[in-house]
Amino acid sequence: MAPPGIAFYYEFASTYSYLAAMRIEAEAARRNVAVQWTPFLLGPIFAAKGWETSPFVTDREKGAYMWRDLERQARQLELPFARPDTFPQNGLLAARIALAVAEDGLIAPFSRAVYRAEFGEGKDIADAGTLGTLLAAVGCTDPDGILARARQAEIKQRLKDNVAEARELGIFGAPSFVVGGRELFWGNDRLEAALDWAVAGG
Protein backbone atom coordinates (compact mmCIF):
# COMPACT_ATOMS: atom_id res chain seq x y z
CA MET A 1 0.00 0.00 0.00
CA ALA A 2 1.30 3.47 -0.85
CA PRO A 3 2.18 5.63 2.14
CA PRO A 4 -0.32 8.35 3.02
CA GLY A 5 0.25 11.62 1.20
CA ILE A 6 -0.20 15.33 1.62
CA ALA A 7 -0.21 18.12 -0.96
CA PHE A 8 1.78 21.12 0.26
CA TYR A 9 0.59 24.31 -1.45
CA TYR A 10 3.12 27.09 -1.02
CA GLU A 11 3.69 30.54 -2.47
CA PHE A 12 7.20 32.00 -2.55
CA ALA A 13 5.99 35.42 -1.37
CA SER A 14 4.41 33.89 1.74
CA THR A 15 6.21 34.32 5.04
CA TYR A 16 4.55 31.46 6.88
CA SER A 17 5.20 29.18 3.90
CA TYR A 18 8.88 29.67 4.75
CA LEU A 19 8.39 28.13 8.18
CA ALA A 20 6.35 25.25 6.78
CA ALA A 21 8.81 24.54 3.96
CA MET A 22 11.69 24.25 6.40
CA ARG A 23 9.94 21.76 8.66
CA ILE A 24 7.53 19.73 6.52
CA GLU A 25 9.92 16.98 5.41
CA ALA A 26 11.08 16.16 8.94
CA GLU A 27 7.53 16.16 10.31
CA ALA A 28 6.28 14.09 7.38
CA ALA A 29 9.13 11.57 7.60
CA ARG A 30 8.39 11.07 11.30
CA ARG A 31 4.88 9.94 10.28
CA ASN A 32 5.82 8.21 7.02
CA VAL A 33 3.75 10.65 4.96
CA ALA A 34 4.77 11.53 1.38
CA VAL A 35 4.84 15.25 0.53
CA GLN A 36 3.71 16.58 -2.85
CA TRP A 37 5.44 19.97 -3.17
CA THR A 38 2.93 22.16 -5.01
CA PRO A 39 4.03 25.74 -5.70
CA PHE A 40 1.19 28.08 -6.63
CA LEU A 41 0.43 31.80 -6.76
CA LEU A 42 -1.78 33.74 -4.41
CA GLY A 43 -1.89 36.78 -6.69
CA PRO A 44 -4.63 35.47 -9.00
CA ILE A 45 -6.60 34.19 -6.00
CA PHE A 46 -6.39 37.55 -4.26
CA ALA A 47 -7.25 39.33 -7.52
CA ALA A 48 -10.41 37.23 -7.85
CA LYS A 49 -11.48 38.60 -4.45
CA GLY A 50 -10.82 42.13 -5.67
CA TRP A 51 -7.62 42.53 -3.64
CA GLU A 52 -4.57 44.23 -5.11
CA THR A 53 -2.02 42.87 -2.65
CA SER A 54 -1.51 40.87 0.54
CA PRO A 55 -3.72 41.50 3.60
CA PHE A 56 -0.43 41.97 5.45
CA VAL A 57 0.01 45.15 3.41
CA THR A 58 -3.57 46.44 3.34
CA ASP A 59 -4.11 45.77 7.05
CA ARG A 60 -1.28 47.73 8.65
CA GLU A 61 -1.75 46.32 12.17
CA LYS A 62 -1.93 42.74 10.90
CA GLY A 63 1.20 43.27 8.85
CA ALA A 64 3.18 44.71 11.77
CA TYR A 65 2.06 41.81 13.93
CA MET A 66 2.98 39.24 11.28
CA TRP A 67 6.60 40.37 11.11
CA ARG A 68 6.95 40.28 14.88
CA ASP A 69 5.28 36.88 15.05
CA LEU A 70 7.44 35.53 12.24
CA GLU A 71 10.56 36.68 14.05
CA ARG A 72 9.45 34.96 17.27
CA GLN A 73 8.43 31.77 15.44
CA ALA A 74 11.67 31.59 13.46
CA ARG A 75 13.66 31.95 16.67
CA GLN A 76 11.67 29.17 18.30
CA LEU A 77 12.22 26.90 15.27
CA GLU A 78 15.89 27.91 15.17
CA LEU A 79 15.55 29.27 11.64
CA PRO A 80 17.37 32.35 10.37
CA PHE A 81 15.24 35.46 9.92
CA ALA A 82 15.85 38.70 8.04
CA ARG A 83 13.03 40.90 6.83
CA PRO A 84 13.42 41.63 3.10
CA ASP A 85 13.11 45.21 1.84
CA THR A 86 10.26 44.28 -0.48
CA PHE A 87 7.06 42.52 0.54
CA PRO A 88 5.37 40.73 -1.02
CA GLN A 89 8.05 39.67 -3.49
CA ASN A 90 7.31 38.40 -6.97
CA GLY A 91 7.65 34.60 -6.73
CA LEU A 92 6.56 33.83 -10.28
CA LEU A 93 9.95 32.82 -11.69
CA ALA A 94 10.91 30.92 -8.55
CA ALA A 95 7.66 28.92 -8.76
CA ARG A 96 8.28 28.08 -12.42
CA ILE A 97 11.84 27.01 -11.68
CA ALA A 98 10.62 24.84 -8.80
CA LEU A 99 8.34 23.01 -11.22
CA ALA A 100 11.13 22.75 -13.79
CA VAL A 101 13.45 20.96 -11.34
CA ALA A 102 10.79 18.63 -9.96
CA GLU A 103 11.80 15.83 -12.34
CA ASP A 104 15.37 16.10 -11.10
CA GLY A 105 14.26 15.63 -7.51
CA LEU A 106 15.32 19.14 -6.63
CA ILE A 107 11.99 20.83 -5.97
CA ALA A 108 12.22 20.56 -2.17
CA PRO A 109 15.87 21.61 -1.76
CA PHE A 110 15.47 24.42 -4.29
CA SER A 111 12.29 25.69 -2.62
CA ARG A 112 13.94 25.66 0.79
CA ALA A 113 16.93 27.51 -0.65
CA VAL A 114 14.67 30.21 -2.07
CA TYR A 115 12.86 30.67 1.24
CA ARG A 116 16.11 30.76 3.18
CA ALA A 117 17.50 33.43 0.84
CA GLU A 118 14.28 35.46 1.03
CA PHE A 119 13.32 35.34 4.70
CA GLY A 120 16.54 34.05 6.27
CA GLU A 121 18.85 36.47 4.46
CA GLY A 122 16.43 39.14 3.20
CA LYS A 123 17.37 38.68 -0.47
CA ASP A 124 15.44 39.57 -3.62
CA ILE A 125 14.11 36.28 -5.02
CA ALA A 126 12.52 37.79 -8.13
CA ASP A 127 16.02 38.06 -9.60
CA ALA A 128 17.00 35.39 -12.14
CA GLY A 129 20.68 35.67 -11.23
CA THR A 130 19.97 34.94 -7.58
CA LEU A 131 17.75 32.01 -8.49
CA GLY A 132 20.44 30.59 -10.82
CA THR A 133 22.95 30.74 -7.97
CA LEU A 134 20.49 28.94 -5.69
CA LEU A 135 19.98 26.26 -8.35
CA ALA A 136 23.70 25.61 -8.51
CA ALA A 137 23.93 25.58 -4.71
CA VAL A 138 21.40 22.74 -4.45
CA GLY A 139 23.24 20.62 -7.01
CA CYS A 140 21.62 21.58 -10.31
CA THR A 141 24.25 20.92 -13.00
CA ASP A 142 22.66 23.14 -15.66
CA PRO A 143 21.10 26.24 -14.07
CA ASP A 144 20.91 28.07 -17.41
CA GLY A 145 19.08 25.16 -19.01
CA ILE A 146 16.61 25.10 -16.12
CA LEU A 147 16.07 28.86 -16.34
CA ALA A 148 15.27 28.45 -20.04
CA ARG A 149 12.95 25.52 -19.33
CA ALA A 150 11.20 27.50 -16.59
CA ARG A 151 10.14 30.01 -19.23
CA GLN A 152 8.62 27.45 -21.59
CA ALA A 153 4.88 27.11 -22.15
CA GLU A 154 4.70 23.67 -20.56
CA ILE A 155 6.00 24.86 -17.20
CA LYS A 156 3.93 28.04 -17.32
CA GLN A 157 0.84 25.91 -17.86
CA ARG A 158 1.75 23.57 -15.02
CA LEU A 159 1.85 26.53 -12.64
CA LYS A 160 -1.48 27.79 -13.98
CA ASP A 161 -2.91 24.33 -13.35
CA ASN A 162 -1.70 24.43 -9.75
CA VAL A 163 -3.40 27.79 -9.24
CA ALA A 164 -6.63 26.49 -10.79
CA GLU A 165 -6.53 23.42 -8.56
CA ALA A 166 -5.90 25.59 -5.52
CA ARG A 167 -8.96 27.68 -6.35
CA GLU A 168 -11.10 24.58 -6.83
CA LEU A 169 -9.95 23.33 -3.43
CA GLY A 170 -11.04 26.58 -1.81
CA ILE A 171 -7.47 27.61 -0.96
CA PHE A 172 -7.33 31.26 0.10
CA GLY A 173 -3.90 31.55 1.71
CA ALA A 174 -0.52 29.92 2.12
CA PRO A 175 0.78 27.59 3.23
CA SER A 176 -2.11 25.20 2.74
CA PHE A 177 -2.13 21.44 3.09
CA VAL A 178 -4.59 19.13 1.36
CA VAL A 179 -5.21 15.54 2.40
CA GLY A 180 -7.02 13.05 0.21
CA GLY A 181 -7.61 15.73 -2.41
CA ARG A 182 -10.26 17.26 -0.16
CA GLU A 183 -9.47 18.05 3.47
CA LEU A 184 -7.93 21.51 3.72
CA PHE A 185 -5.62 22.83 6.42
CA TRP A 186 -4.36 26.41 6.37
CA GLY A 187 -1.25 27.83 7.93
CA ASN A 188 2.05 26.63 9.30
CA ASP A 189 0.25 26.10 12.62
CA ARG A 190 -1.84 23.33 11.03
CA LEU A 191 1.05 21.32 9.56
CA GLU A 192 1.00 18.69 12.29
CA ALA A 193 -2.81 18.39 12.21
CA ALA A 194 -2.75 17.90 8.44
CA LEU A 195 -0.08 15.21 8.65
CA ASP A 196 -1.95 13.45 11.44
CA TRP A 197 -5.10 13.57 9.30
CA ALA A 198 -3.18 11.88 6.47
CA VAL A 199 -1.91 9.17 8.83
CA ALA A 200 -5.46 8.58 10.11
CA GLY A 201 -6.50 7.76 6.57
CA GLY A 202 -7.56 11.10 5.11
Which residues of this protein are in contact with a copy of itself, per CB under 8 A?
A: 49, 55, 59, 61-62, 64-65, 68-69, 72, 76, 170-173, 184-187, 189-190, 193
User: Which residue number, 11 or 94, has a Cβ lying nearer to a copy of itself?
Assistant: 11
User: Which residue number, 153 or 200, has a Cβ lying nearer to a copy of itself?
Assistant: 200
Select from 125, 162, 126, 146 the least CA-distant residue to 39: 162
Residues facing 8 on adjacent strands:
37, 177
Least CB distance from residue 75 to a copy of itself, whole Å?
A: 11
Least CB distance from residue 191 to a copy of itself, whole Å?
A: 11
User: Which residue number, 124 or 192, has a Cβ lying nearer to a copy of itself?
Assistant: 192
Least CB distance from residue 91 to a copy of itself, whole Å?
A: 20
Least CB distance from residue 59 to a copy of itself, whole Å?
A: 6
Least CB distance from residue 108 to a copy of itself, whole Å?
A: 25
User: Which residue number, 25 or 192, has a Cβ lying nearer to a copy of itself?
Assistant: 192
User: Which residue number, 31 or 190, has a Cβ lying nearer to a copy of itself?
Assistant: 190
